[in-house]
Structure formats: C-alpha cells, structure tokens
Amino acid sequence: MSYQVLARKWRPANFKQMVGQEHVLQALVNALDSNRLHHAYLFTGTRGVGKTTIARIFAKSLNCEQGVSSEPCGSCASCVEIDEGRSVDLIEIDAASRTGVDDMRELLDNVQYAPTRSRFKIYLIDEVHMLSKHSFNALLKTLEEPPPHVKFLLATTDPQKVPVTVLSRCLQFNLKRMSRTQILSQLQFLTEQEKVAAEPSALTLLASAADGSMRDALSLLDQAIGYGGGSVQQGAVESMLGSISRDYLARLLDALSDQQASPLLHEARLVIEHNPDYQRVCAELIALLQQVALYQHDPLLVNEDEFAEELLQKYSSCWSAEEIQLYYQILLQGRQDLLICPDAASGFEMLMLRLLAFTPETGTERENVESPEVKKKPAAKPEPVATLSDRDEPATVTRAEDQPARKSDVQLNAKTDTDVAADLPLDWHELAYASGLSGLAQEIVANSQFKSFQDGNLKLELLTEIHELATDLIKAEIRQALEQKLGVSLQLELVAAVTLSGQTPMQAKELRQQRERLAAIEAIREEKMVKKLQHAFAAKLDEASVVKIENNS
C-alpha cells in the first residue's frame, strides 16, 4: 500500500477528533442534535485550520444512515463514501478552477433533482471567494431559497471578497488560528502514535513554524521525519527550517548588551556561516524581546516553554523598557529592509549595527542595572510633552524645535575620541541640519560622522555606499554651505568606511523623535480626561495617531 501523508491519514473523522475550534463545533453540534438546520453555512479562516474538514464531518452528520446526529456512525455506506471522496450526493467544487458563470449554471440546473441515495444533496464549494461576479449572481436566488433536500457548505480564506448579498444568506463561522500549545500537543500525540522518536524542542520549533495552521504543522512533521531519517531532532529541524539554535540568539543579545561592535559582528557572522533564513532569525529575536517585555511587567504573563526563564530574567534586568521597545521596532523595520537589500548577509550585519547605533544610552546617563536577584525599579516617567486639560481640550504635542535640545540627545561622538580636535565652533549634529543644504547634499551630510577639524580641514566619514554618491559637484556644494555657516575657509575631506563607530546626525534625530513620541504617548495616557474616557467607554488610545503637530504659521 502506498504511503499516506500525515495530514490525510490523521484528518479528523468526527467532531470529537477535532483540535480547537470549540466555538464552531458547539454551535454545529447543538444545531444537529436539535434538528435546527440552516440551508447554507459559510466557514472562514486561514489555511489549514479545518474549514473543509468540518464541512465534510457536517455532511456525514446530515447524511448518516443512522439519522441526523452530531455523531455520525462512520461505518454506514454514506459515511464511508464521504470519507473516501466518492459520494454522489456530496458535490465538492473548487471555485478557483470553476469560476465561470456557465459552470455555475450547469451546476444549479441539477439542484432541483432529489439526491440519488442520501437524505440531502450537499454542495461543498471551496474557496468560494474566487467565483466571478456573474457566478455569484447566478447562485444568489438558489442560495436564498434552495429546495428542502439541498444544503450549501461554503469555505473561504478571504471572506472580504464574498459579496454581502451572499454573506447575508449564510450562517457564518470564523475558524481561529491554532495556538502553538494546541499544535504542539497534537504533534506529540501523533509522534507517539506513529512511534517516531522526537525531541520536544524540535516539535516546539515545528509548532512555531506552522504559524497557526494544523495542516502546515503535519506537513512540516512529515518533512522533518524524512529529513531526519525517521526521527525528529532539533538540529535537523533547525537546518530544514533555515533557523538557528537559540544559543546563537542569546549570544547575539549578550554582545548587544555589552555595547561592543566587534563582539556583536563576530556573533552575527557566526550566524551568517549557517546561511539561515534571516527573516526567521529576526522573527525569533522579535519573539524573545516580546517575552522579555512581558516578563518585566509580570513574569506570569510569559508563555510557558517559550524561552528559558533564566534568559528572560537576565535581559529584563539588563535592559530598560525603553530599550526593549526600541530594539523591537528596529527589528520589525529591519525585516522589511532585508527584503530589498542587495545581500541578505550584509543586510543582517547592518541591522545588528543599527541596534547598537540606536541604543538609548548617552555617556554616564544610563541607569545602573541591578542584579537579577533584585527587582528592577520602574523607570522615571518622561517629561510630558503632550497635555490634555480637564476641560476636554484636544491634546497637542509640543514641537521639538520649540524646546531646548538636550545635550545628551546631540552628543558629538567625536568629542570622546582622543585623535579629534575640539575646535569645531558648532556641534556637528546641529550643524548638519542648520547648514541650509537640501536634497542629496543634505542626505549625505546627515548620514556622515564627524572625525576631525584641524587647520581648516574638515574630515567626515561615510558608509561606502553613501560615499559613492558624493560627486565633486556635491562636495563643492557641501563645502560652500559649511563655509558660509561657519564663516571660515574649509577644506572638505570625505572618507569611505565599511561601518561607522558612532551616531550620524540622522540617527541622532530619529532617536530624539522616537523619544519625544514615546514621551507624548505616555503623557497622554496619564491625562485625567483620557483615563475618564477609558473607564467610562472602555476606550483605547490609538498610539499610531499620536503625531507631532507642525506649526507652519
């Protein structure tokens, strides 16, 4: 007998074998047992969560020879035929391949005829949203008033594309994504039944990679068994998925917490040697930071068996809540940037350096970190930059230009270098945006790092890819603008570098804006009127709508 894949071999044959979806199963079971049956049902949800499986079990329950019941016998001719996919009274249609109106009219011409053998003639239309507009129009009247012997079971992954006129004629059930715990429990059960040796950590990786789909999880388990030669081992699963061991992630974050570029790049290149899926690596880092953030607020909030508690405790102690949120946002944006960078490996290196460059730390201003045994003190509340009065006045966010710049926000990295003279009249981060430049010249200056200013020779450092954009004409424009601003004659030298050791004016500006926005959000949260609205109406603050108001007057 040929091999049958796990997703088909272990497809549930009745409602009791279903994993999850209790909210849907309870409604269907009650309807069947009380014989309160609708003529059309619509099952929605992402791929692999059980839409067609529930529809087929429901069809068996309707046509079982033992009678309409939520527990079909599974052994009568009707149940066996449905299980084997050869029931003449269960018409399964793939709407993705039969989208034309002629196909639908041909189908509906036979609706008036009674079922051949069974109690009901059942039409199961999968991916119903793929039907054309004319096909939906042809279906509407029959769907609203079908003959008493006809039932429609519709399934779709995109209910937004189904016309509301069709939705209004159906009972709609939205199937949820499977939780990681549900998938992991089912994988453990199946490996025991199949007598396959499997490491729990390997099954955890598969459950996470399935992304809420039980069918995907079983397909990945099939693949892992084949890849591992009959067993499921963590190393083999990591190699198959393109992920890496969490030990590498821990070492990356250790190097990041030490604030040293060389160790961080060394660990990043160890990751690169495994040629992993960088999207998955970033997703693992994001998941770890999310768990650390939850652990900081309450250790009971973290997911069990997700990450080691020692790991969460260490990082929640060595990073502030602000740092974790900033790293989280950088990695989220970094995943998008990796899709467009010319080389994923170099893009990953740059992403790690971006984490280092944007660390909210200035000289000795960083909080003293307590040991893991001592509970971390809550960070001081930031100064409010947004106010909401008790007289229902709208919230306004003060412009950063209207406030004196903090020295820590525009700290000149070069001032701590021993080989750089301190005779530049203005702070470079301020000068870069006050030079009167625009366009490409302004972008080059904003992405440069000040190195030295001696005897009228200004030396700036640029990343290699940016340095290539600095033509002689652009250099002359930059030099003239800086000469006019400083009132001295300059010689401008632009040096290319693979990496920059400190912050550029643009990085400092983005970090300052991020801090101001977080402070604004926190200030709005603390407003009395906001709290009253939240309490009275269960209102939620839309953080995405908090923006700086530009005063152009």
CA distance 27 to 49: 17
CA distance 157 to 46: 5
* More confident site: 122 or 358: 122
Same domain, 156 and 256: no
What's the domain count of the chain? 5
Same domain, 487 and 430: yes
Same domain, 170 and 275: no
Q: Domain ends where: 302, 334, 365?
A: 365
Same domain, 117 and 230: no
- Residues 210-230, mean pLDDT to the nearest whole number: 88
Q: Identify whether 461 is part of a domain.
A: yes
Tens of pLDDT along 117-176?
Answer: 889 999 999 989 988 888 888 888 888 888 889 999 999 998 889 999 999 989 999 999
Is pLDDT of 298 > 90?
no
Q: Which of 11-20, 84-93, 271-280, 539-548 has the lowest mean pLDDT?
A: 539-548
Is pLDDT of 370 > 70?
no
Q: What is the mean pLDDT of the chain?
A: 79
Write down the pLDDT at residue 124. 92
CATH for 282: 1.20.272.10
Same domain, 236 and 261: no
Question: Which residue in the block uniquely carries the two structure tokens 């152009």?
Answer: 552
CATH for 146: 3.40.50.300
Question: Comparing C-alpha atoms, which of 227, 89, 81 is closest to residue 150?
Answer: 89
34 to 28, 31, 70, 256: CA distances (angstroms): 10, 5, 10, 61
Same domain, 62 and 153: yes
Same domain, 265 and 343: yes
Same domain, 30 and 162: yes
Q: Identify whether 370 is part of a domain.
A: no
Angle at 375 between CA 371 and CA 381, to 5 degrees: 110
Tens of pLDDT along 59-95?
Answer: 999 999 888 888 998 889 999 999 888 888 998 888 8
Is pLDDT of 415 > 70?
no
Write down the pLDDT at residue 506. 83
Q: Would you call 453 helix, strand, or coil by DSSP?
A: strand
6 to 20, 49, 189, 246, 477: CA distances (angstroms): 18, 15, 12, 28, 67
Q: Identify whether 326 is part of a domain.
A: yes
Q: Identify whether 535 is part of a domain.
A: yes
Give the DSSP letter string of 228-283.
TTSSB-HHHHHHHHT---HHHHHHHHHHHHHT-HHHHHHHHHHHHHT---HHHHHH
| Cα maximum dimension of the chain | 99
Q: Identify whether 497 is part of a domain.
A: yes
Same domain, 225 and 279: no
Q: Identify whether 441 is part of a domain.
A: yes
Domain extent at residue 204: 180-241
347 to 239, 260, 331, 344: CA distances (angstroms): 21, 19, 12, 5
CA atoms within 13 A on the CB side of 71: 1
Write down the pLDDT at residue 139. 85
Q: Which of 169-178, 195-204, 489-498 has the lowest mean pLDDT?
A: 489-498
Residues 6+ apart with CB under 8 A from 202: 224, 232, 233, 234, 236, 237
311 to 74, 75, 200, 528: CA distances (angstroms): 49, 52, 19, 38
* More confident site: 198 or 302: 198
Write down the pLDDT at residue 288. 86
CA distance 83 to 214: 19
Structure confidence at residue 551 as a pLDDT band (50, 70, 90)? low
Write down the pLDDT at residue 553. 45
Angle at 238 between CA 234 and CA 244, to 5 degrees: 115
Contact status, residue 286 vs residue 332, Cβ threshold 8 Å: yes
Q: Domain ends where: 145, 174, 203?
A: 174
Q: Domain ends where: 174, 201, 222?
A: 174
Is pLDDT of 57 > 90?
yes
Same domain, 269 and 224: no
Same domain, 263 and 302: yes
CATH for 479: 3.30.300.150
Residue type present at position 248: Y
Angle formed by the axes of helices 200-209 and 180-193, nearest 10°: 130
Q: Identify whether 89 is part of a domain.
A: yes
CB atoms within 10 A of CB 478: 24
* More confident site: 217 or 536: 217
Structure confidence at residue 475 as a pLDDT band (50, 70, 90)? confident
* More confident site: 380 or 177: 177
Write down the pLDDT at residue 204. 86
Q: Which of 87-91, 244-248, 512-516 has the lowest mean pLDDT?
A: 244-248
CA distance 520 to 11: 52
Beta strand 171-174 with 386-387 is unpaired
Question: Comparing C-alpha atoms, which of 159, 112, 151 is closest to residue 31?
Answer: 151
Is pLDDT of 100 > 80?
no
- Residues 361-375, mean pLDDT to the nearest whole number: 42
Query: Among residues of the chain, what percentage have pLDDT more than 70?
Result: 85
Contact status, residue 21 vs residue 149, Cβ threshold 8 Å: no
Task: State both tokens at 27.
Answer: 């409604």
Write down the pLDDT at residue 550. 62
Same domain, 484 and 428: yes
CA distance 238 to 271: 12
Tens of pLDDT along 7-28?
Answer: 888 889 889 889 888 899 999 9
49 to 24, 130, 179, 205, 497: CA distances (angstroms): 12, 19, 11, 19, 50
Q: Identify whether 377 is part of a domain.
A: no
CATH for 187: 1.10.8.60
